[in-house]
Structure 1
Amino acid sequence: MTARHPSLIDASGISHLPDRLQDIIRRRSAVLGPGYQFSETIPVEFVSSFGAHLIDADGNDYLDAYNNVPGVGHAHRHVADAVSRQIASVNNDTRYPQEPLVAYAERLLATFPADLSKLSLPCTGSEANDLAIRVARFHTGGEGIIATRWAFHGRTREVASFSPMLGVGSPLGPNVRLIGAPDRRLCEAGGSLEGYMRDQVRSAIIDLERHGYRLAALIADSAFTSDGIFTHPVGFMQAMVDEVHAAGGLYIADEVQSGFAQFGDSMWGFSRHAVIPDIVTMGKAMGNGFPISGVVFRPEVSDEFGQQVSYFNTLGGRSISVAAASAVLDVFEQENVRERVVMNGATLLAGLETLTKDSPYVAEIRGGGLYLGIEIVEDRVTLEPDPFRCESIIKQLRDRRVLISRTGPAGNVLKVRPPVAFTAADVSRFLGTFAIVAKQLL
C-alpha cells in the first residue's frame, strides 16, 4: 500500500486563488526543497490566532480541530511572554548549569511513574524516537524492532525505517517486523484483544530471531494514530510488554501525538493501560509549537549509555525551549486543563455519536477526550473503507471553516484532534457544523 500524501499544489491550476496566494505558491515552488506540501486542498494564509482558532487575512475565523501542536492554545499569552522574556536575557545550551532546566525536568518527571526518572531533551519527535532506539540497541545489544503495520514515528533515516506509513518510497529495515493494530474486530470469535496482540508480538520476535536479529524494542504510539486511532478496550498492552521483556527487549511508548493530556483522563496515553514503559518519547505539544521534544528513561536503561556514548543536542534543552515547555506546564496547572479535556471531550463524543448513530457509513467512533477517530465505510456490513466520502466530509467542513484531517491505512478515518485549548463553545460550534455536513454526507 502506498503512502497518502497531503495534496500537492503547484503553480498550475491556481488561477482561481487570490493574487497574493498565487504569488506565494509560485515563489514557494521555485525556492523550497523536497517535502514541502500543503495540508489543505485549498491553501489558506493565516495571519493571527488564539485558542483553537486561526484567522485569515480577511478576518475569517477557522476552528482548528486538527492541529494539537499548540496544545494549550495558539498564541497563548503566558507561553509567548515566557519565550519573549527568555530570548531577551540568555539562551544557553545544556553544557552550562541552568536552574530552570533542572526545575523543568523535576516538574515533568513528576507526571510519570517513579520508575521513569531520567530526561533528555532533543528538538523534534523524530529525534526523540531516534535517540530512544539508539539507547534501546545499546542497552539490549539487539537490533530487532517491532512496530504496528501503519505506524508513523518520524522522518530521520533511522526512524523512517520503522515508519511504514511513509510508504514504498521509504523502505523498512530488514530488522523491522510489523504487527496489526489493536482492532478487536480482527480477533477470532471469542478471542481476547490481549491474546491477539500478545501472539502477534511473539510471532514477530520468533521471526526476528530466525533471521538473526535479537529484539531491541517494541515501539508503539499510545493512540495507534496512523493505524486508525485504537484506544479501547484498555489493558491489552501488558501482555505485549511481557513478551518483549521475556525476549530481552524494551517497550518504547511514543507519546508524541497522544501525550500531554489529549485523552484528559491521564497525562500520558500509556497510563490508561496501567503499564510502565522503559522509554517514553514526546514532542509536538510539549513546547506549544516551539521546537522541543523529550525522552524519558528508566535510569537502568539510560545510565550506561550516558557514561559511554557522547550524545549532545546543540539546540535541545536550550533556555528558550525550556521556558516554552515550562510555561506549558504552568498553563496545565493554572487552567485545570485535564478536567476541561474530560468534560469537553465527553460532550464532543456524545454529540458525534448522536449525529452518526443511524448512519450506514460510520462503522465506529474510537478514542477519548479530544482525540477521536470516526471510521467512514461504504457500509457497516462489509466495513469496506470509503476514503472518498471521508475526504468529502473534510472538504465540506473546511468550506465551513472547521479544520480536521484523516488517518488510517485507507485514509478513511476522520481525525478529530484539536488542541487541549478547545472550549465548550468550540465543541458546540464543531458539532453544529458537523451536523450540517452529516445531513448531506452521512
Structure 2
Amino acid sequence: MSPTIRPILDMNAFDATRDKGAVSALLGRRQRNVGAASVLFYRHPLEMARASGCWMEATDGTRFLDFYNNVPSVGHCHPRVVAAISRQVATLNIHTRYLNRPTETYIEALKATLPDSLSNVVLACTGSEANDLAMRIAMSGTGGTGFVVTESAYHGNTWAVTDISPSALKQGAPPPHVCMVPAPGSANFGEDIAGGFQTAVEKAIVTLGERGHTPAALICDSIFSSDGVFADPPGFLAPAVETMQAAGGLFIADEVQPGFARSGDAFWGFDRHGVTPDMVTMGKPMANGYPMSGVATRPDLLARFCEGVGYFNTFGGNPVAAAAGLAVLEVIETEGLQANARKIGHHIMTRLGELVATDARVTAVRGAGLFIGLDLCRDGDPDLPDPELTSTVINGLRDRRVLIGAAGRYGHTLKIRPPLCLTRDEADFFVDALTDTLAAIPSA
C-alpha cells in the first residue's frame, strides 16, 4: 500500500476528534475562539509561560529544550534584541512614508550580506507577504504566469502563495499554473541529484507550456525544509536555476527557513549552491520573533512592477522592526552563531549517524548546520516511511523535555531546527533523549 501524503499542518497537530483527554479551560477557550483554524502541537497541547535561549518553560514550571522553533533563531528573548526593540518603541514607531534612520541603517546592513545585484529591499511583516510580492514581481518582470515548486513545498498562506504550497493542501492539487517537481534527494534522482533535479525542472517548464503558461519563476528554499530537508551536495541547485533563467523565468530563493546563518556553511542557503537569485525572500528569524519580512531584488524588476501597481505596507519597515532586525544581524556576527551552527550541527550529525548504525528504523540523516532531517521508516526500509512512529517519537521527546516537529512528504522526517546559540551540552541532551525515546518504542 502506498504511503499517505500528509499536509504540513496535520503533522504533530493536536486533533480534538481523536485526542479526547481532559480539556483545559484555556484549550476550550482556544477552540471556541479560533475554531477550525486552530493549530496546536502535541496530543496534549502545552501552555507556555516564558522562554530564554534555547529553552521554553510551561506554566507548570517544566522546561523544554526547543528543537523546533526557528523564529527566535538567536535565542528566545535575546537581551540585545529585547533592548533594541524597547529603546526604539519608546522613541519612534511610524510607517515608511516618513524618513527614519533606523530603517535605512538596517536595510544597508542587510544588503551587505546579499549579492550586489540585489540592491533594492522591500520590507513587509510575514514570509507569506514577501513571497506573494515576489510572485507578483516575477510575473511583471517576465510576462510569465507559471511557477515551479517541489512536491511538498510550503511558501506561506496568502491566496497566491497557497497555490504554490502543495504541502498546505488537504484536498486536491495545485492549480494549472503551478507545476511540481520531486524533492532533490537520492530516492528520486539517484547519485546525480543536480542533473536529475535540472531535468525535472526542464520537464516542468514543458508541462507549463502545454497548459498555456510560460514560466515566471522557480521558487524553492535551498534546504527544502518541508520536503524533508535536502541540503547536499552543495551546488546541486545551480543547473536547475540556470535552466529556469534560460527559459525566461526567474529564481526566487525563499530564505525564510535556511537563511540568516542557519546552514553554518554560509549566511544564505543559496550561497551553498553558488547561485545568484533574482529575488530573495525572508521572514521568520529576521527579527527574532518580531513580525518582519522582506524581498531583496534587482532594481529593474522592482521598477517594472511599480510602473503598474506599486507597493506599500503600513507596518513593513517600521523602525521598531528595523531595530530588531539590526540587533539580530549584530548578534549573529558578535556571537559567532554561523560558526556555532556549523560546529554544533556537525556534532549532532555525527551522533545521529551512530543511531543510523544501531537502529534500523533510522534510515537517513541529512542537513547542514543546525537544520537537519532524520527519517524514520519501518523494517529499515526507506520505501516504508513511518509517520506513526515519528509522531510517537515526537510525543516521547516531549515527555523527555524536547520540542521537535515533523516534515517530509509523508510526515516521517524529524525536523531538527534549534536556535543558533545551541551548546554542545544541549545538543547532547537532545540526542540522548532521542536515543532513549527510540529505545522505549518496540520495533514492529
AA paired with 1:360?
A
Correspondence for 1:164: 166
Bigger drift between 134-143 and 421-430 goes to: 421-430
Which residue pairs with 1:320 in the alignment? 320
Whether the aligned pair in 2 keeps the contact of 1:2 and 1:167 (CA below 8 Å) is no
Q: CA deviation at 1:9?
A: 4.7
Whole-Å separation in 2 of the counterparts to 1:78 and 1:169: 44
Report the TM-score when normalising by structure 2. 0.94
Structure 2 residue ranges without an equivalent (≥5): none
Give the match for residue 253 of structure 2: 253
Q: 1:376–1:413: 8 Å Cα contact kept in structure 2?
A: yes
Query: What is the CA–CA distance in structure 2 between the aligned matches of 1:170 and 1:117, rounded to whole Å?
Result: 39
- Tell me which residue corresponds to 1:84: 86
Q: Equivalent residue of 1:121, what SS?
A: strand
Preserved contact between residue 364 and residue 375 of structure 2 (Cα < 8 Å): yes
CA deviation profile, 1:311-355 (whole Å, cap 9, x unmatched) = 100110111111111111121122111111111111111111123
- Please tell me whether residue 330 in structure 1 is matched to residue 330 in structure 2: yes
What is the number of residues matched between the two proteins? Answer: 436
CA distance in 2, matches of 1:434, 1:13: 24
Are 1:160 and 1:170, in contact at CA under 8 Å, matched by a contact in 2? no
**CA-to-aligned-CA distance 1:354-413 (integer Å, 9 cap, x gap):** 233222111210002110000111133452111111111111111011111111111100
Pick from 100, 103, 108 the counterpart of residue 101 of structure 1: 103
**Structure 2 residue aligned with 1:436:** 436
Q: 1:352 and 2:317 equivalent?
A: no
Paired with 1:140 and 1:361, the residues of 2 have a C-alpha distance of 46
| Cα deviation digits, residues 206-238 of structure 1 (max 9, x gap) | 111122211100101111111111111121211
Distance 1:168 1:390 in 2: 20
- Does 2:197 correspond to 1:197? yes
Superposition pairs for residues 96-175 of structure 1, below 5 Å? 96-169=98-171, 171-175=173-177
Deviations 1:84-136 (A, max 9, x none): 11111110111111111111111111111212221111100000000000000
Q: How does 1:409-428 map to 2 (within 5 A)?
A: 409-428=409-428
Could you say if the C-alpha distance between residues 142 and 62 of structure 1 is closer, same or farther in structure 2, counting changes exceeding 3 Å?
same
1:185 equivalent in alignment to 2:191: no
User: Would you say the 8 A contact 1:363–1:383 is kept in 2?
Assistant: no
Contact 2:355–2:362, Cα closer than 8 Å, also in 1: no
What residue number does 1:401 align with?
401
- Ranges in structure 1 where 5+ consecutive residues have no aligned partner: none
In 1, are the aligned partners of 2:176 and 2:208 still within 8 Å (CA)? Answer: no
RMSD: 1.8
Aligned equivalents of 2:44, 2:252: Cα separation in 1: 37
| 2:178 matches 1:176 | yes
Which structure 2 residues correspond to residues 377-388 of structure 1 after superposition, within 5 A? 377-381=377-381, 383-388=383-388
What is the rounded CA distance, in whole Å, between the counterparts of 1:13 and 1:340 in structure 2?
39
Instruction: Give 1:169 deviation, angstroms.
Output: 3.8
**Conservation of the 8 A alpha-carbon contact between 1:260 and 1:267:** yes
In structure 1, the partner of 2:278 is 278
State the match for 1:7 in structure 2. 13
Partner of 2:370: 370
User: Aligned partners of 1:296 and 1:124: how far apart in 2?
Assistant: 14
1:291 is aligned to: 291
Helix, strand or coil for the counterpart of 1:133? helix
Q: Which amino acid aligns with 1:334?
A: T
**What is the TM-score of this pair, normalised by structure 1?**
0.95
**Secondary structure in structure 1 of the residue aligned to 2:315:** coil
Deviations 1:274-326 (A, max 9, x none): 11110111100001011000111122322222344221001101111111111
CA deviation string 1:34-56 (max 9, x = no partner): 42211222111111110010011
Q: Quote the Cα distance in structure 2 between the aligned partners of 1:411 and 1:397.
A: 16
Q: Deviations over 1:165-193 (max 9, x none)?
A: 012447522211101110123226xx621
